[in-house]
């Protein structure tokens, strides 16, 4: 990688936080710049899921651990079922998210899946993989990569002076919790709530749904949209699905979620979190093309990983922070 990017003999840090790694890596880069250690940092992430079968075939079995073959969908399906039971959400909400995100993805030339003819009826009729998660409510297996350059204030000001848009980082947050402990809420994880609270505080945001113009959120299975709406503080507990049903998470709604098509349209796992961060930056720079949210000035980038354990988030804006 160092050879391919011309980074031989330059300082390199590898970050690993499961599915949230792309977001975490971006935050590490931002922290290195903010500390004054470096003026510009290249942050990148990638995944080749097309090679996953070969990787598993060549892997040594973990001693004393019997694989159950359920995969991520099998692990998260009970959490989704618990959310439906607790919130009273109707069965079609997951399908609505899938249709929205795939139609958004059809407008994004960089998305893996392009399904402009997808309908609610098609999603509802697709195969049930892990009750209540259907095939069309599931993310694809993708190859892909993402990269960003994080620069200091002087570098950003120079770009602005050249007439180029930049995305100003207003706040970042990272939180982690164990996979299993007594009383853990896997539907609305505490680490996610804590990360969001810290992010909003540091960004000076008191009402996320009124102050965030667009959100790029890690939604690998469609039902996670209403779950994250609540976890992030856009809706009260048990109320997130109502925003989805009312169309408020669509482009043109009150809080557009995943205008790019999100993880439901492209899922190179190692890069998926960074793509959320990059897409949030692209939105406030006004460079999103056919999936641009009109007037977007402040955006959320979000990633999670593991058993809903690792969280990374940032808020970016077209406006320079007041303390700069």
The DSSP-derived string for 171-231 is: EEEEEE--S--TT--SSS-HHHHHHHHHHHHHHT-S-HHHH-SEEE---SBTTHHHHHHHH
Q: 238 with 94: CB under 8 angstroms? A: no
- Measured CA to CA, the distance from residue 300 to residue 171 in angstroms comes to 10
**Alpha-carbon span 190 to 182, nearest angstrom:** 13
Tokens 């009150």 belong to which residue?
Answer: 254
Contact (Cβ atoms closer than 8 angstroms) between residue 266 and residue 114? no
Q: Give helix 190-203 / helix 224-231 axis angle, nearest 10°.
A: 60
DSSP 8-state assignment for residue 289 = G
Q: 21-58+70-317 architecture in CATH?
A: 3-Layer(aba) Sandwich (3.40)
Per-residue pLDDT of the chain (324 residues; tens, 9 = 90+): 788 888 899 999 999 999 999 999 999 999 999 999 999 999 999 999 998 777 767 777 767 666 666 789 999 999 999 999 999 999 999 999 999 999 999 999 999 999 999 999 999 999 999 999 999 999 999 999 999 999 999 999 999 999 999 999 999 999 999 998 999 999 999 999 999 999 999 999 999 999 999 999 999 999 999 999 999 999 999 999 999 999 999 999 999 999 999 999 999 999 999 999 999 999 999 999 999 999 999 999 999 999 999 999 999 999 999 875
Residue 245 DSSP one-character state: H
- DSSP-H helix ranges across 251-323: 269-284
**Whole-number pLDDT of residue 131:** 96
Cβ burial 208-238 (10 Å sphere, 16+ → b, else e): bbebbbbbbbbbbbbbbbbbbbbbbbbbeee
Within the chain, residue ranges assigned H as helices are 21-34, 52-58, 71-87, 93-105, 120-125, 153-161, 190-203, 208-211, 224-231, 240-245, 269-284
Contact call for residues 244 and 251 (beta carbons, < 8 A) = no
Determine the distance from the C-alpha atom of residue 306 to the mean position of all C-alpha atoms in its chain, rounded to a whole number.
13
| Burial state string for 260-279 with b = 16 or more CB within 10 A and e = fewer than 16 | bbbbbbbbbbbbbbbbbbbb
d(CA 208, CA 210): 5
> CA separation (Å) from 34 to 68, 173, 174?
43, 14, 16
Q: Are strands 40-48 and 143-151 parallel, antiparallel or unpaired?
A: antiparallel
The residue with tokens 């330059």 is 10
Query: Rounded CA gap, 230 and 310, in Å?
Result: 17
This model's pTM is above 0.75: yes
Task: Please name the residues in contact with 181: beta carbons below 8 A apart, sequence gap of 6 or more.
Answer: none
Residue-range domain boundaries for the chain = 21-58+70-317
For residue 277, how far is the Cα from the chain centroid? 7
């Amino acid at each position: 990688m160092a050879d391919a990017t011309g980074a031989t003999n330059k300082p390199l840090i590898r970050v690993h936080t499961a599915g949230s790694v792309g977001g975490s890596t971006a935050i590490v880069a931002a922290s290195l710049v903010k500390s004054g250690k470096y003026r510009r940092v290249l942050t990148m992430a990638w995944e080749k899921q097309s090679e996953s079968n070969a990787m598993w075939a060549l892997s040594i079995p973990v001693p004393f651990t019997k694989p159950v073959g359920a995969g991520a969908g099998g692990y998260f399906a009970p959490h989704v079922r618990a959310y439906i039971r607790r919130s009273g959400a109707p069965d079609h909400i997951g399908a609505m998210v899938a249709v929205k995100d795939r139609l958004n993805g059809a407008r994004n030339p960089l998305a893996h899946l392009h399904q402009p003819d997808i309908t609610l009826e098609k999603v509802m009729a697709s195969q049930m993989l892990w009750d209540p998660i259907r095939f069309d409510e599931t993310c694809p297996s993708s190859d892909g990569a993402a990269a960003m350059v994080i620069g200091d204030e002087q570098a950003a000001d120079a770009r602005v002076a050249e007439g180029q848009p930049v995305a100003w980082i207003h706040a970042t947050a990272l939180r982690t919790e164990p996979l299993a402990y007594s009383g853990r809420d896997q539907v609305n994880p505490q680490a996610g709530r804590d990360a969001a609270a810290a992010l909003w505080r540091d960004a000076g945001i008191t009402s996320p749904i009124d102050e965030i113009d667009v959100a790029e959120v890690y939604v690998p299975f469609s039902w996670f949209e209403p779950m994250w709406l609540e976890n992030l503080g856009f809706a009260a507990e048990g109320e997130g699905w109502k925003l989805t049903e009312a169309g408020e998470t669509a482009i043109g709604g009150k809080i557009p979620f995943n205008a790019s098509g999100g993880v439901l349209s492209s899922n190179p796992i190692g890069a998926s979190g960074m793509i959320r961060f990059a897409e949030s930056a692209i939105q406030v720079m006004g460079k999103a093309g056919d999936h641009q949210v009109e007037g977007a000035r402040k955006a959320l980038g979000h990633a999670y990983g593991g058993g809903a354990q690792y969280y990374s988030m940032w808020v970016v804006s077209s406006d320079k922070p007041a303390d700069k």
